[in-house]
Amino acid sequence: METKTNKTAPRNPSRRNFIKIGGVGLVVTGLTLAGCSDDDDGNNTGNPNNNELPGMRNGVFDFGGGDLGIMTFSYALEQLAAAFYTRLVNHQGFASTFNEEEQEVLTDIYAHEIIHREFFRDLLRNRLPNPDTQLLPNLEFSFTGVNLGDRNAVLQMAQMLEDTGIAAYNGSGHMIQEEENLNLAGKIVSVEGRHASAIRSMIDPDSGNFAPTPLDPALAPSQVIAQINSLQLITTPFSATYLS
Protein backbone atom coordinates (compact mmCIF):
# COMPACT_ATOMS: atom_id res chain seq x y z
CA MET A 1 0.00 0.00 0.00
CA GLU A 2 1.29 3.46 -0.85
CA THR A 3 2.50 5.65 1.98
CA LYS A 4 0.02 8.40 2.68
CA THR A 5 1.03 12.01 3.01
CA ASN A 6 0.75 13.75 6.36
CA LYS A 7 -2.38 15.47 5.14
CA THR A 8 -4.30 12.22 4.66
CA ALA A 9 -2.54 9.98 7.17
CA PRO A 10 -4.69 8.42 9.92
CA ARG A 11 -4.70 10.26 13.23
CA ASN A 12 -3.16 7.25 14.94
CA PRO A 13 -1.00 5.46 12.33
CA SER A 14 0.51 3.15 14.96
CA ARG A 15 -2.88 1.51 15.49
CA ARG A 16 -3.27 0.69 11.80
CA ASN A 17 0.36 -0.41 11.48
CA PHE A 18 -0.24 -2.73 14.43
CA ILE A 19 -3.14 -4.35 12.58
CA LYS A 20 -1.24 -4.67 9.32
CA ILE A 21 1.62 -6.55 10.99
CA GLY A 22 -0.91 -9.26 11.78
CA GLY A 23 -1.82 -9.50 8.11
CA VAL A 24 1.80 -10.18 7.20
CA GLY A 25 1.95 -13.00 9.72
CA LEU A 26 -1.11 -14.68 8.26
CA VAL A 27 0.22 -14.40 4.71
CA VAL A 28 3.26 -16.34 5.90
CA THR A 29 0.94 -18.94 7.37
CA GLY A 30 -0.83 -19.30 4.03
CA LEU A 31 2.45 -19.69 2.18
CA THR A 32 3.52 -22.37 4.65
CA LEU A 33 0.34 -24.29 3.93
CA ALA A 34 0.73 -23.90 0.19
CA GLY A 35 4.25 -25.24 0.39
CA CYS A 36 3.38 -28.41 2.29
CA SER A 37 -0.24 -29.32 1.53
CA ASP A 38 0.46 -31.04 -1.79
CA ASP A 39 2.53 -33.64 0.03
CA ASP A 40 -0.08 -34.25 2.70
CA ASP A 41 -1.35 -37.82 2.44
CA GLY A 42 -4.45 -37.11 4.53
CA ASN A 43 -3.27 -39.19 7.48
CA ASN A 44 -1.52 -36.45 9.45
CA THR A 45 -4.74 -34.87 10.62
CA GLY A 46 -5.00 -35.79 14.29
CA ASN A 47 -8.33 -37.44 13.52
CA PRO A 48 -8.37 -40.89 15.21
CA ASN A 49 -11.74 -42.13 13.99
CA ASN A 50 -13.04 -41.94 10.44
CA ASN A 51 -16.57 -42.13 11.83
CA GLU A 52 -15.98 -38.68 13.32
CA LEU A 53 -15.07 -36.97 10.07
CA PRO A 54 -17.08 -33.86 9.16
CA GLY A 55 -20.15 -34.46 7.02
CA MET A 56 -23.91 -34.78 6.92
CA ARG A 57 -25.56 -36.52 9.87
CA ASN A 58 -29.29 -36.72 10.45
CA GLY A 59 -29.92 -34.23 7.68
CA VAL A 60 -27.56 -31.49 8.91
CA PHE A 61 -23.83 -30.90 8.59
CA ASP A 62 -21.82 -32.02 11.61
CA PHE A 63 -18.41 -30.48 12.29
CA GLY A 64 -16.92 -33.86 13.21
CA GLY A 65 -14.19 -34.52 15.76
CA GLY A 66 -10.42 -34.53 16.11
CA ASP A 67 -8.24 -31.92 14.46
CA LEU A 68 -10.41 -31.88 11.34
CA GLY A 69 -13.45 -31.19 13.47
CA ILE A 70 -11.71 -28.30 15.24
CA MET A 71 -10.57 -26.86 11.92
CA THR A 72 -14.09 -27.17 10.52
CA PHE A 73 -15.44 -25.42 13.62
CA SER A 74 -12.84 -22.67 13.10
CA TYR A 75 -13.82 -22.44 9.43
CA ALA A 76 -17.44 -21.82 10.45
CA LEU A 77 -16.39 -19.00 12.78
CA GLU A 78 -14.20 -17.44 10.09
CA GLN A 79 -17.11 -17.62 7.65
CA LEU A 80 -19.19 -15.74 10.22
CA ALA A 81 -16.58 -13.04 10.80
CA ALA A 82 -15.92 -12.61 7.08
CA ALA A 83 -19.65 -12.28 6.38
CA PHE A 84 -20.06 -9.59 9.04
CA TYR A 85 -17.17 -7.44 7.87
CA THR A 86 -18.15 -7.92 4.22
CA ARG A 87 -21.59 -6.50 4.96
CA LEU A 88 -20.06 -3.72 7.03
CA VAL A 89 -17.51 -2.36 4.54
CA ASN A 90 -20.06 -2.56 1.71
CA HIS A 91 -22.82 -0.84 3.68
CA GLN A 92 -23.97 2.45 2.19
CA GLY A 93 -23.38 4.25 5.48
CA PHE A 94 -19.86 2.93 6.09
CA ALA A 95 -18.06 6.14 5.07
CA SER A 96 -20.40 8.39 7.01
CA THR A 97 -20.43 6.22 10.15
CA PHE A 98 -16.66 5.83 10.55
CA ASN A 99 -13.83 8.30 10.09
CA GLU A 100 -10.98 7.69 7.66
CA GLU A 101 -8.72 5.92 10.13
CA GLU A 102 -11.53 3.69 11.37
CA GLN A 103 -12.52 2.80 7.80
CA GLU A 104 -8.94 1.77 7.04
CA VAL A 105 -8.64 -0.38 10.16
CA LEU A 106 -12.01 -2.07 9.61
CA THR A 107 -11.19 -2.65 5.95
CA ASP A 108 -7.89 -4.26 6.97
CA ILE A 109 -9.73 -6.51 9.43
CA TYR A 110 -12.22 -7.39 6.68
CA ALA A 111 -9.34 -8.40 4.40
CA HIS A 112 -7.78 -10.53 7.13
CA GLU A 113 -11.03 -12.35 7.84
CA ILE A 114 -11.44 -13.16 4.16
CA ILE A 115 -7.92 -14.61 4.21
CA HIS A 116 -8.75 -16.62 7.33
CA ARG A 117 -11.85 -18.04 5.71
CA GLU A 118 -10.09 -19.00 2.48
CA PHE A 119 -7.14 -20.38 4.44
CA PHE A 120 -9.34 -22.87 6.30
CA ARG A 121 -11.26 -23.73 3.14
CA ASP A 122 -8.05 -24.61 1.29
CA LEU A 123 -6.57 -26.41 4.29
CA LEU A 124 -9.64 -28.60 4.70
CA ARG A 125 -9.88 -29.30 0.98
CA ASN A 126 -6.34 -30.64 1.11
CA ARG A 127 -6.75 -32.68 4.28
CA LEU A 128 -10.25 -34.11 4.19
CA PRO A 129 -10.38 -37.58 2.60
CA ASN A 130 -13.49 -36.61 0.59
CA PRO A 131 -13.88 -32.81 0.54
CA ASP A 132 -16.85 -33.02 -1.86
CA THR A 133 -18.98 -34.35 1.00
CA GLN A 134 -16.92 -33.50 4.08
CA LEU A 135 -16.11 -29.82 3.53
CA LEU A 136 -18.41 -27.44 5.41
CA PRO A 137 -20.62 -25.68 2.84
CA ASN A 138 -21.02 -21.93 2.66
CA LEU A 139 -23.15 -20.96 5.65
CA GLU A 140 -25.97 -18.43 5.58
CA PHE A 141 -26.09 -15.60 8.11
CA SER A 142 -28.47 -12.96 9.37
CA PHE A 143 -27.35 -9.61 10.78
CA THR A 144 -30.79 -8.02 10.78
CA GLY A 145 -30.42 -7.31 14.49
CA VAL A 146 -27.36 -5.10 13.90
CA ASN A 147 -27.81 -1.57 12.62
CA LEU A 148 -24.77 -1.28 10.34
CA GLY A 149 -25.26 2.47 10.25
CA ASP A 150 -24.86 2.74 14.02
CA ARG A 151 -21.20 3.01 15.08
CA ASN A 152 -21.75 1.70 18.60
CA ALA A 153 -23.84 -1.26 17.46
CA VAL A 154 -21.26 -2.23 14.84
CA LEU A 155 -18.31 -2.00 17.21
CA GLN A 156 -20.11 -3.96 19.92
CA MET A 157 -20.88 -6.73 17.44
CA ALA A 158 -17.31 -6.65 16.12
CA GLN A 159 -15.92 -6.90 19.63
CA MET A 160 -18.21 -9.83 20.42
CA LEU A 161 -17.16 -11.69 17.27
CA GLU A 162 -13.44 -11.07 17.81
CA ASP A 163 -13.54 -11.95 21.51
CA THR A 164 -15.60 -15.06 20.83
CA GLY A 165 -13.18 -16.14 18.11
CA ILE A 166 -10.21 -15.73 20.46
CA ALA A 167 -11.99 -17.65 23.21
CA ALA A 168 -12.82 -20.41 20.71
CA TYR A 169 -9.21 -20.82 19.57
CA ASN A 170 -7.97 -20.71 23.16
CA GLY A 171 -10.58 -23.17 24.33
CA SER A 172 -9.99 -25.73 21.60
CA GLY A 173 -6.20 -25.57 21.56
CA HIS A 174 -5.80 -28.42 24.06
CA MET A 175 -7.93 -30.63 21.80
CA ILE A 176 -5.60 -30.29 18.80
CA GLN A 177 -3.33 -33.30 18.47
CA GLU A 178 -0.95 -32.41 15.65
CA GLU A 179 1.75 -29.84 16.41
CA GLU A 180 1.51 -28.29 12.93
CA ASN A 181 -2.20 -27.68 13.37
CA LEU A 182 -1.64 -26.14 16.79
CA ASN A 183 1.01 -23.81 15.38
CA LEU A 184 -1.34 -22.69 12.61
CA ALA A 185 -4.12 -22.00 15.10
CA GLY A 186 -1.68 -20.05 17.27
CA LYS A 187 -0.69 -17.81 14.38
CA ILE A 188 -4.28 -17.05 13.48
CA VAL A 189 -5.43 -16.35 17.04
CA SER A 190 -2.58 -13.85 17.39
CA VAL A 191 -4.04 -11.92 14.45
CA GLU A 192 -7.49 -12.10 16.02
CA GLY A 193 -5.98 -10.66 19.19
CA ARG A 194 -4.78 -7.64 17.21
CA HIS A 195 -8.27 -7.22 15.77
CA ALA A 196 -9.87 -7.33 19.21
CA SER A 197 -7.39 -4.78 20.56
CA ALA A 198 -8.06 -2.38 17.70
CA ILE A 199 -11.83 -2.69 18.14
CA ARG A 200 -11.55 -2.04 21.89
CA SER A 201 -9.40 0.99 21.15
CA MET A 202 -12.02 2.34 18.74
CA ILE A 203 -14.71 1.89 21.38
CA ASP A 204 -12.62 3.63 24.05
CA PRO A 205 -9.76 5.47 22.28
CA ASP A 206 -8.40 7.15 25.40
CA SER A 207 -7.97 3.92 27.36
CA GLY A 208 -5.18 1.36 27.43
CA ASN A 209 -7.31 -1.16 25.55
CA PHE A 210 -5.09 -0.91 22.48
CA ALA A 211 -2.59 -3.32 24.03
CA PRO A 212 -3.49 -7.03 23.66
CA THR A 213 -4.07 -8.88 26.89
CA PRO A 214 -2.32 -12.18 27.73
CA LEU A 215 -5.35 -13.19 29.78
CA ASP A 216 -7.89 -13.72 27.00
CA PRO A 217 -10.68 -16.13 28.02
CA ALA A 218 -11.01 -19.67 26.75
CA LEU A 219 -14.35 -21.28 25.92
CA ALA A 220 -15.10 -24.86 24.95
CA PRO A 221 -16.57 -25.31 21.44
CA SER A 222 -19.99 -26.11 22.96
CA GLN A 223 -19.92 -22.84 24.91
CA VAL A 224 -18.96 -20.84 21.81
CA ILE A 225 -21.68 -22.50 19.75
CA ALA A 226 -24.28 -21.78 22.44
CA GLN A 227 -23.20 -18.13 22.52
CA ILE A 228 -23.38 -17.76 18.75
CA ASN A 229 -26.70 -19.61 18.55
CA SER A 230 -28.20 -17.29 21.17
CA LEU A 231 -27.61 -14.37 18.79
CA GLN A 232 -29.24 -16.22 15.88
CA LEU A 233 -26.50 -15.11 13.51
CA ILE A 234 -26.05 -18.43 11.66
CA THR A 235 -29.23 -19.49 9.87
CA THR A 236 -27.83 -22.70 8.33
CA PRO A 237 -28.53 -25.71 10.58
CA PHE A 238 -25.44 -27.57 11.85
CA SER A 239 -24.43 -29.91 14.64
CA ALA A 240 -21.28 -30.49 16.68
CA THR A 241 -21.75 -34.00 18.01
CA TYR A 242 -18.07 -34.68 18.68
CA LEU A 243 -17.01 -31.28 20.00
CA SER A 244 -17.50 -30.70 23.71
Q: Does a structural domain hold residue 1? A: no
| Percent of the chain predicted with pLDDT > 90 | 66
pTM of the full predicted structure? Answer: 0.84
Q: Identify the top-confidence range among 21-25, 105-109, 213-217.
A: 105-109
pLDDT at 205: 82
Average pLDDT over residues 34-41: 46
Give one DSSP letter per residue of the chain, joined into a string. -PPPPTTTS-S-HHHHHHHHHHHHHHHHHHHHHHHHGGG--S-TT----GGGSSEEETTEEE--SHHHHHHHHHHHHHHHHHHHHHHHHTSTTHHHHS-HHHHHHHHHHHHHHHHHHHHHHHHHHHHSS-HHHHSPPPP-B--TTS-TT-HHHHHHHHHHHHHHHHHHHHHHGGG--SHHHHHHHHHHHHHHHHHHHHHHHHHSTTSSTTS--TT-----HHHHHHHHHHHT-B-S-EE-TT--
Q: Does a structural domain hold residue 123? A: yes
Q: How confident is the model at residue 5 (pLDDT cuts 50, 70, 90)?
A: very low
Average pLDDT over residues 222-227: 94
Q: Does a structural domain hold residue 143? A: yes
Q: Does a structural domain hold residue 84? A: yes
pLDDT at 155: 97
Average pLDDT over residues 195-213: 76
Q: Does a structural domain hold residue 28? A: no
Q: Does a structural domain hold residue 43? A: no
pLDDT at 82: 97
CATH number at residue 88: 1.20.1260.10
pLDDT at 38: 47
CA distance 185 to 174: 11
Q: How many domains does the chain have?
A: 1
Q: Does a structural domain hold residue 53? A: no
Q: Does a structural domain hold residue 16? A: no
What is the per-residue pLDDT across 63-99, written as a single tens digit (0 to 9) for each? 999 999 999 999 999 999 999 999 999 999 999 999 9
| Residue 208, pLDDT above cutoff 60 | no
The residue range of the domain holding 233 is 63-239
